[in-house]
Structure 1
Amino acid sequence: MLKNLSLLLFLFSTIFCNSFAQNSPEEAISKFSEEYPQEKIHLLLNKKSFIAGESIFFKGMIVDGFKPSLISTSLFVELYDKNKKLISRKTVPILLGEALGNIQIAADMKEDVYFLRAYTTWSTNFNENFQWIKAIPIYNEKSAEKLEINKNSEWNVSIQPESGRFLNGINTKVSVRMKSKGILPSTWSGFVVEENNLNLKLAEFKSLDENVATFNITPEIGKKYKLIVQDINGNKKDFDFPITFGSGIQLKVKSETGTITLTPQFHKLEKPSAYYKIVGQINNRLVYIAKLSTLSSGSTYKIPTESLVNGILQLVILNDKNEVLAERLCFVDGEKLNIGKIDIASSGLKTGAKSLNSINIPTKSDFANFTALVADNFAESTEDENSLLSTIFLTGDIGSEISNPAQYFTSSRNLDALDALLISEKWERFNWRDILIGNFPKIMNKPNSYITYTGKASMDGTPVKNTTMNLVFSTKGSGTEFFQSKTDENGIFVLDNLIFEEPFEITYSIDGVVKSKDQNVTVYFQSKVNPAVMRSALPKNSYLLSEKSIDEAPSPEVKRAMQEITFNKNFKEKIALIEEVKIKFSQRDKTDNLNKKLSSPNFKGINETVFDFVNDYKSSQRDILSWLEGRVSGLKITQGSTVSKTGTIRGENFEIFVNENPQDISFVSTLNLSDVAMIKVIKPPFRGRSNSVISIYLKEGINNVGQKGGFPVGMPGLGSKTITGYDKNDPYPFIDYEKTPEQKSISDNRITLYWNPYVQSSTYESGSIKFYNNDVAKSYNITIFGYDYDLEKYVYFHEVVTP
C-alpha cells in the first residue's frame, strides 16, 4: 500500500510539475515566431470614396514581418453595410504576398458609410483587430440622405505613464492619448493640477499631433492629480490621473539613431529577485536579452541598433519567476527607414489638358512586379491615412485606432509623437505571461495551397477505398488534362494547388472500372477555401447621415466623381477602349493564350516569366540556356571540366522540364532554339518546390496539348462535376487618346489617371509607365511600391509631384 501511495505521489508530482513548467523567454518567443507567424494585411484602393455604380479596385499586400508572406495563398475581401450585413465578397489568389481584384458597387446602393474587410484563412486564428477593415463612403445622388463628416464628435483622453505605472517620487514621462468616434481636433493642449490646489499648474503640454501629447511629472503617493485638456474649438474636459504606486519598477527608454538607452528605476521593491532579465523582441523575434544579477535604479544600459531592423521594439523586464515587471514599446532608428527609394524622374510629366505623360523608373532593382497609381492633385488617396509603410511598421502590430498613422513614416515625420504614441500602446500580438506558461493560440484554420477541394468517391453507396481515380480537368479554351489521385480508407482524395477563375469541369471514373447501370460511381467535391464570419463589431467611423433638401446640389467631390463615371461611360460607348477589348488582339493576349494552351494546371506558377517564340521572340542563337542567361535575372550557366554544363538561379539549382517531362541540362543543350514554342521560368514557391523551374515547350507539341492520355471528356457512362475557383477580376478602364484623337472633345474629369496593380517586370524594363492627363490637373499624386528581391526590402514612393 505504501509502495502504491509512493508511486501515486510520484506520478502526481510529475504531472503537476509538467503542467506548470515554464518556458524560458528564448524558448517561448522562438516557438511563437516559428509556429504562429503573423501576417500583416494592407489594401491600396484606386480611390478613397466611391459613387454607386462604380467598382472598388484594390491591391492587397500580405506581409510576414518585413517581407512578402508565403503563408497564405488566398485573400478574402468583403463589403459590409454599417449594420454588418455582408453585401459582396471576392476571393482572389495571393501571388508572392500580393493580390488584386475589384468589387462592383450596385447602382442602387444607398448613400452611406460601408466597410471593406480583408483577411486570410490563417489570420482568422488570431485577433480580428489585425484584419484590414476600413470605412468607405459611398455616395448616391438619388438617395434621400447624405453623408457628412462628423467634425464635432465627443473625444476622450487616456493618461499613460512610461512603462505602465506611476511610482512615488520618480520623474515620469507621460503620454496623453486622444481618441474619438469622429475626426480628432487638429491641435489641443492642457495642464496638470493637484486636486487640492487647482490654481497651481504642475505641468503644461501641447499636442504633438492630433493623437498625442507628452509631459513629465514627479508624482507623490497619496496625492490626486487632474488633467485638463482643451481643444482648438474651445471644448474643455478634465480627467483623473491613475494612482501612484509605492513600489515597483519603471523602465525609461530613449531611442536614438544607432543606440537605444534603457534606464530601469524602482522604488521599494517588495519581492527582490535572484536575477532579472531584460528581453527585447521585434516582429515576434528575439533580438536582445540580458541577464542581470542585480538591478541598480538609475543605471543605464545601451543596445546598439546596427544589427537591428526598423520596427517596434518591445522591451520587458522579467524577474526570476518570469513575471513581467515593466514593459515599454519604442521604435528602432526612426530617422532612417529600411525601405528602398524610387527616384521619379519628372521630366516626362506635363500639365497640358489630355497630355501624354510618362514616369521614368530606374531599372537597376529586381522587382518581380510593382504597383502604380496616379491621380490628379485634387484626389485623396487611402495611402494618405494608412500607408503600406504604416501597416508594416505600426498598425500591422497595433490593433487600436490611430488617426492618420501614415504621418509617422513620411519625410516630415515627428519621431517624438511616434514615441509618445508607443508609450500609450501595448504589444498585442502575444502576451508574455501566456507564452511563458505555454498558453499559445489554438489553431483552428490552417492555410490551404490555393484552390483546394476534397473529393469523396463512392460506388453503389460504399466508399471507394485505396483506389486510383481517373480525373480529367477541362476549362473553356484550355483543352483537357488527365490526372490520377488515390483515395484513402474513407474514399477521400485531395485536389490542391489549383489557380483558375473559369469553372472547372471534372470528369471522373475509377481506374480499371467501366461504369454501367449496376455500378453507380459518384464523387462529391467540397471546397476547403472558405470565408470566415466576422465576429467583432465594426470600427468607429467619422461619418453622419442627414436628410437632403429637395433642391440640394451634390458636393464638389461627389459631383466630380459623377462626372468621372459619365466620362468613362461615354468613352466606352463611343470607342470601346476598355483594356480587355483594347488588348484583344495584342501581343500579350496571344502569349497568354499560348501559355494557357501549352501549360497544364501542374505547370502554372504564381511567379512566372513567359518567353513566346511563336508570336514574339525571334533569335538566330541556337543555345537555349545561353539565350536565357541574358534575360533571366540571377541565371548563371557554368561550363564544367568536360562538355557538361551546370546552372543556378540566384545561387540555387533549378529544375528543367521539356514538354513538362523532367530533363537535364545536357539534353537541353542538344535542342535548337528554333524548335522552341515557349519557355517559362517559374520561381518559387511552386507546388512545394523551393527552387526555380525552367519549362521548355517544343513547337512539335503545340497540336498535341490536352491529349496526354486518359479518356475523352463526355464519354458515355462517366460522371462529372463542376467546381468553381477564384473570382474573376474586371479590367480597369484605360484611356488612349493617341488612337482616338477625335474623342479629345469630351470633357475629361477623371480623378484616377492610371491604375495598374500588377506592372510586370517585362513592362517595368521599359523604364516608364504612360498615362493621359485630364483637363485640369497641374500636379500628380503618385504611388508606386513593390518588393525588391535583391535588396530584400520594400520600395515605396508616395508623393505629389509637380512638373
Structure 2
Amino acid sequence: MKKISFLPQAALSLLVIASAAFAPAHAQKTMQQVDASIADFAEKFGPERAYLHYDKQAYSPGETIWFKAYVMNEVLPAIESKSFYTDVLDEKGNLLQHITSPMVDGVTNGQFEIPLDYKGQFVFFRAYTRWMLNFDSAFLFTKQIRVLGNDPKTAAARPQTIATLQFFPEGGDAIVGQPTKIAFKANDQWGKPVKIKGTITDAQGKFVDSLRPLHNGMGFFMLIPDGSTYTANWKDEKEVGHTTKLPAAKTSGASLQVQVAGTTRRFQVNYSADIAKANDSLHIIGTMYQHEVFRVSKATAGSEVKGAVPTQNLPTGLLTFTVFDKNWAPLAERVSFINNEDLIFKPEFEVQHWGLNKRARNEIKITLPDSLVGSLSIAVTDEAIGKDTSRNIVSHLLLSSEIRGDVYNASHYFTSNDELMSQKLDLVMLTHGWRRFKWDEVLSGKTPKPLFAKDTSYMTLSGTVFGAIPGQIPPGAAVVLMLKQKKSEGQVLLVPIESNGTINERSVIIFDTAQIYYQFQNKDLKNATLQFMTDRLQPPTVRKTVGRFGFAILADTLGNYRQWLMANESNDIAEKNKIKTLENVIVKSKTKSPVQVLDEKYASGLFSGGDGYQFDLVNDPFAKSAIDIFTYLQGKVAGLQISGNGSNTTLTWRQGTPALYLDEMNSDVQMVSSISVQDVAYIKVFRPPFMGGFNGGNGAIAIYTRRGNDVRNEPGKGLANNKVEGYTAIREFYSPNYSSFNQENEQRDLRSTLYWNPNIEMTSRKPVVLTFYNNDVTKAFRVIIEGMTRDGRLAHYEEIME
C-alpha cells in the first residue's frame, strides 16, 4: 500500500533537518526507529470512521427510517471493508434489529421500520465496520432518533437539569510553578451547554480568577499552580451554588501550550527542574490520522522550548502535538484542529421545474464541480417539520469522529473559517479528550494482533464441516448444495471442501434469508454436518441500559407536532382500509373451518381447544413470504411484542416471555427461528396464563410442523438443511408517480418525506436530474444533499424550495 505523506517532502525535510541539529548523535538511530514504528502502526491500524445520513430527524411508529452510510479511512473512502453493521436499540438497550449491509467504495444504505406498537420516545442507532470494533467503542457512530409516539403537546415534562463543571489543563496536567492554561466546560446530563458564573479560589479562599464562559459553556483561564488546592465556586442558570475542585497540579512534568495563529500553530513547552536536569533535549512530534507530519527536537538549556509549525499544506483534521523526553516517554499532549477546507466541496443545485401545488411535479438538477467523482444521497422533506442542525457529514467525519465525547452543535464550527471560529474550535480541542495512540505499544514496535479482521470480501456462501477431523476429509471432497434465496431461482452447486473443513463459494452472495439443502459426496462424511456462515459477525452483546449516551427528553417543536399530525392521519387511513377489506368477508356456512380441522389433527391434550389465536399456514398464501415464524406472527397477536430478528428475536407479553413449543415439545427462540415457515402447518398462540406446560404464566406459542397430506413435495426434501441469514434486504423508497392513474393514488397523501435517494452516483461531466411529486399539504420543501467523492471530499448542502 502506498504510504500517504501529508506534508510536502521539502517541508518535511526542513523539519527533520532542524531537529537533527539539536539531537545528540547517539539519538539518530532511535529517531529513525520512532519514525518507522509510527509509520508501521499507521499502516496496520488506520482507523475507519462512519457517518449515517437519514431522510429526516424524527419518525412515528410504523414509519421507516431510511439511511445512507459513509465510511472513511484516514482521508479517503474505506474501500477495503465490504460489510457494514447497524444495531438499532430501544431505550433500555435491547436490540431491535441487527442490520448487515454490503458496502461499495465506502458507502451503503439500508432502512429500519419502527414497529407500529413501539411505545418508546427514542430509538438508538450504533453503526460500525468489523474493523472499527478493534478500537475504543467511543469512536463508533451513534445517534438517538426521536419517535413521536404520543401527542407531543401532552408529552411528559423534561426532567430537572443537572449542571456539571469539568476542568482540563492544557497538555494533560498542570505543573507546579509552570504557566498553564486551564480550560473548562459546563454542561447538563445530556451534554447541552449551561450558563454559569463563578470564581477560582486557592486553599486559603483567596481570589485567583473568574470563570468567564466564552462559547457554549466553554472557557479558560491562566494559572501558575503553587501546589495548593484550588476550588471553583460557581452558580448555574437557576442560581444554585456549586463547588468543584480543580485537578491537582503535579510537582514533576511538562506543560504544553499551543496557540492558533492563522496558518501557523505556535507551541511552547514548560517543564519542571528535574525534567530539565534529566533530559538534554525534548522531542515534539505531530501526527494526523496517525501519520507523523512533523518532528522537532529541542535542547532544554532554558526553562522552556518554543517552535512554530506551518499548517497551510496539511489536510483538514486534528493535528496532535505530543511531547516526549529524551527516552521517548510521553510527557504532554494537545490537539489542534486544522481547517484548510481542502476536504469539502459544494455540489451545484438547480430547480428546473417548480411544482409546489398539490401533487405537482418537481425537477431538480445536481452537478458536481470539475473533475470530481462521487456518491451522494438526497432527502426532500416538508420544510415545516423539525430538522437536526447539530451535525452533518462534514462535521462528523472531520471532527466529532476523531475525539472523545459528544461535540455539541458540531456543524456550527464549519459555517465559517474566520479567526473567531478558529478560537471557538480551539475551545472544543481543549475540552475534549483524544487518545487514538497508545504510545507504549506504538514505540515498542510490538503492535497487538487485531481481534477483528477487515471484511475484505462480501458475505458469500461459506461454511464449516463439523463432526469430522481434517484427516477425515479426503482430497477432492465436495458437497452438493441446493440453494433457494428469496425472489430468485433455485441453484444447485457442487462446492469443494478444503482440507481444513471449510467451503466458500465466492460467486454466491447471500441476501436476506436462504434455505440450503446439502449432501456430502463422500461416504466418509456421512455423519458430519455443515454449518453455514460461521464467520458472520454476530450482533454484539448489549447492556440493558444505553449507558453514557442516555436519552434527553427534548422540548417538542411545532415541526414535530406537524409531523406527528401527518403520520397519525396516514395511519388512520391505512387502518380504515384494513377495516373496509374485512367488511367484504362473508361467512357462507357453519361447517368446520380449515383451522378447526388443523387443531383437531395436530393439537392434543392440554394443547387442544382453549383460548388462543390460531393460524392456518397450509392455506395461507402469504405465509411463504415471511422470513421466519416470528416475522409471520408480527402484528397478528394483540399484546405480543416481537423485536429483533432471527436468533436475536425477543418476545414480550404482559411484561414476561411466552413459552415456545415445537410439536408440543419445549423449545427456544434459536430452534424456532431456524424452522422454515414452509415447513409449518399450524400455529397456536395461547393467552396468559397457559397451563399446558412449565413457564406458561406469560402465555405460550405452539408451532406444529407439517405431516401427512400437509407435507409438500419439494426438491431436496429429506436432505439435511439450514436456513441462512445474509445481508439484510434493502428496500426501495416508494415515491408516487402522479403523472398517470393509479388506484393507490386516490388516498390522501400526507408523506413528510417526499423523496429519498441514497444512490446517486455522479461524475462532474454528467449532471443528474431527479423528479419527485408533492403531497397534498406541503407548501415548501427542504432539500438536503450529502456525499463523498473518491478522493475523500465531503459535501453537505441544504436548500429550501418555496
Kept in 2: contact 1:458–1:464 (CA 8 A): no
Q: 1:54 aligns with which of 63, 88, 91?
A: 63
Superposition pairs for residues 393-472 of structure 1, below 5 Å?
393-411=398-416, 414-438=421-445, 440-448=447-455, 449-452=457-460, 453-456=462-465, 463-469=472-478, 471=480
Aligned to 1:303: 309
Aligned to 1:273: 279
1:345, CA displacement in angstroms?
2.9
1:734, CA displacement in angstroms?
0.8
Q: Distance in 1 between matches of 2:312 and 2:256?
A: 22
Q: Distance in 1 between matches of 2:349 and 2:780?
A: 14
Kept in 1: contact 2:470–2:501 (CA 8 A): no
Secondary structure, counterpart of 1:83 in structure 2: coil
Q: Distance in 2 between matches of 1:68 and 1:288?
A: 25
1:226 aligns with 2:235: no
Kept in 1: contact 2:257–2:267 (CA 8 A): yes
Superposition pairs for residues 178-189 of structure 1, below 5 Å?
178-182=186-190, 184-185=192-193, 187-189=195-197
Aligned residue identity for 2:121: D
Instruction: Say if 1:93 and 1:235 are closer, same or farther in 2 by CA, change over 3 A.
Output: farther
Aligned residue identity for 1:450: Y
Aligned to 1:207: 214
Kept in 2: contact 1:250–1:264 (CA 8 A): yes
Aligned residues with identical type, % of pairs: 21
Q: 2:168 aligns with which of 157, 160, 164?
A: 160
Superposition pairs for residues 293-442 of structure 1, below 5 Å?
293-294=299-300, 296-332=302-338, 334=339, 336-346=341-351, 348=353, 351-363=356-368, 364-382=370-388, 384-411=389-416, 414-438=421-445, 440-442=447-449
1:160, CA displacement in angstroms?
1.2
Kept in 2: contact 1:28–1:438 (CA 8 A): yes
Superposition pairs for residues 304-703 of structure 1, below 5 Å?
304-332=310-338, 334=339, 336-346=341-351, 348=353, 351-363=356-368, 364-382=370-388, 384-411=389-416, 414-438=421-445, 440-448=447-455, 449-452=457-460, 453-456=462-465, 463-469=472-478, 471=480, 475=485, 478-479=488-489, 485-496=495-506, 498-504=508-514, 523-534=530-541, 537-544=546-553, 557-558=560-561, 560-564=563-567, 566-567=569-570
1:76, CA displacement in angstroms?
1.9
Moved more, 564-573 or 499-508: 564-573
Kept in 2: contact 1:112–1:146 (CA 8 A): no
Secondary structure, counterpart of 2:399 in structure 1: helix
Q: Distance in 1 between matches of 2:532 and 2:311?
A: 53
Secondary structure, counterpart of 2:171 in structure 1: helix
Aligned residue identity for 2:140: Q
Q: Distance in 2 between matches of 1:260 and 1:720?
A: 64
Secondary structure, counterpart of 1:314 in structure 2: strand
Kept in 1: contact 2:754–2:774 (CA 8 A): yes
Aligned residue identity for 2:256: L
Instruction: Say if 1:445 and 1:269 are closer, same or farther in 2 by CA, change over 3 A.
Output: same
Secondary structure, counterpart of 1:396 in structure 2: helix
1:766, CA displacement in angstroms?
4.7
Instruction: Say if 1:470 and 1:245 are closer, same or farther in 2 by CA, change over 3 A.
Output: closer
Q: Distance in 2 between matches of 1:56 and 1:347?
A: 29
1:528, CA displacement in angstroms?
1.3
Aligned to 1:110: 119
Q: 1:81 aligns with which of 65, 90, 103?
A: 90
1:330, CA displacement in angstroms?
0.4
Instruction: Say if 1:486 and 1:295 are closer, same or farther in 2 by CA, change over 3 A.
Output: farther
Kept in 2: contact 1:312–1:330 (CA 8 A): yes
Instruction: Say if 1:498 and 1:68 are closer, same or farther in 2 by CA, change over 3 A.
Output: farther
Q: Distance in 2 between matches of 1:401 and 1:470?
A: 51
Which whole-Å deviations, capped at 9, do the CAs of 1:9-50 have from their partners, x for residues lacking one?
Answer: xxxxxxxxxxxx999432332232222221112112222222
1:156, CA displacement in angstroms?
0.8
1:221, CA displacement in angstroms?
0.3
Task: Report the count of equivalent residues.
Answer: 628
Kept in 2: contact 1:22–1:437 (CA 8 A): no
1:527, CA displacement in angstroms?
3.0
| TM-score (norm: length of structure 2) | 0.69
Aligned to 1:757: 758
Which whole-Å deviations, capped at 9, do the CAs of 1:173-204 have from their partners, x for residues lacking one?
Answer: 32111233236245444443445355x46244
Instruction: Say if 1:569 and 1:495 are closer, same or farther in 2 by CA, change over 3 A.
Output: farther
Secondary structure, counterpart of 2:93 in structure 1: coil
1:252, CA displacement in angstroms?
1.5
Secondary structure, counterpart of 1:163 in structure 2: coil
Q: Distance in 2 between matches of 1:381 and 1:562?
A: 16
Aligned residue identity for 1:196: Q
1:763, CA displacement in angstroms?
13
Secondary structure, counterpart of 1:154 in structure 2: coil
Which whole-Å deviations, capped at 9, do the CAs of 1:457-487 have from their partners, x for residues lacking one?
Answer: 8799994333242655554665566765443
Kept in 1: contact 2:316–2:340 (CA 8 A): no
Q: 2:295 aligns with which of 289, 295, 300?
A: 289
Instruction: Say if 1:496 and 1:125 are closer, same or farther in 2 by CA, change over 3 A.
Output: farther
Instruction: Say if 1:173 and 1:54 are closer, same or farther in 2 by CA, change over 3 A.
Output: same
Q: Distance in 1 between matches of 2:158 and 2:795?
A: 30
Kept in 1: contact 2:382–2:782 (CA 8 A): yes
Kept in 1: contact 2:259–2:266 (CA 8 A): yes
Q: Structure 1: state its 5+ residue gaps.
A: 1-20, 547-552, 575-712
Q: Distance in 1 between matches of 2:560 and 2:173?
A: 47
Aligned residue identity for 2:798: E
Instruction: Say if 1:556 and 1:254 are closer, same or farther in 2 by CA, change over 3 A.
Output: closer
Kept in 2: contact 1:255–1:331 (CA 8 A): no
Aligned to 1:770: 771
1:246, CA displacement in angstroms?
4.4
Secondary structure, counterpart of 2:270 in structure 1: strand
1:450, CA displacement in angstroms?
1.8
Aligned residue identity for 1:419: D
Which whole-Å deviations, capped at 9, do the CAs of 1:437-462 have from their partners, x for residues lacking one?
Answer: 35644422223422142232879999
Q: Distance in 2 between matches of 1:450 and 1:284?
A: 28
Q: Distance in 2 between matches of 1:457 and 1:154?
A: 56
Q: Distance in 2 between matches of 1:320 and 1:554?
A: 57
Kept in 2: contact 1:66–1:392 (CA 8 A): no
Q: Distance in 2 between matches of 1:175 and 1:497?
A: 56
Secondary structure, counterpart of 1:141 in structure 2: coil
Instruction: Say if 1:335 and 1:125 are closer, same or farther in 2 by CA, change over 3 A.
Output: closer
1:520, CA displacement in angstroms?
6.8
Instruction: Say if 1:534 and 1:405 are closer, same or farther in 2 by CA, change over 3 A.
Output: farther
How big is the alpha-carbon RMSD for the aligned residues of Structure 1 and Structure 2? 4.0
Q: Structure 2: state its 5+ residue gaps.
A: 1-29, 578-713
Q: Distance in 2 between matches of 1:715 and 1:167?
A: 75
Q: Distance in 1 between matches of 2:113 and 2:758?
A: 17
